[in-house]
Amino acid sequence: MMMPDIQVFTPITMQRLGLQNRVLRQLRAMGCQVLNTALDPRLTIEIKPPASALRRSKCTVRQRAASGNDAVVSVEVDGCLVKWTEAKW
């Protein structure tokens, strides 16, 4: 019985993982605490609310969280979506 040739880590997947890892290192160097990552289309990285330049970025987007009491804040960093939740603004 021949097993199908399954390739989990395609070159594109490896490239995306590499990009996400580079951004993770940048965030950690800035003092951010990473809570979660996803290999979704936007390469989402969830962090604790930062006290850094990420808050002052021109491309910061704020959205009301599902609970209505918090805001989900996101910013794009080198092709990855970085987001965190903070108290309602």
In the prediction, which pLDDT does 65 show?
A: 60
Residue range 31-79, pLDDT digits in tens: 999 999 999 999 999 999 887 667 666 666 766 666 667 888 888 899 9
Q: What share of the chain is helix, strand, coil (3-state, %, to 5)?
A: 25, 30, 45
Strands 70-77 and 61-64: antiparallel
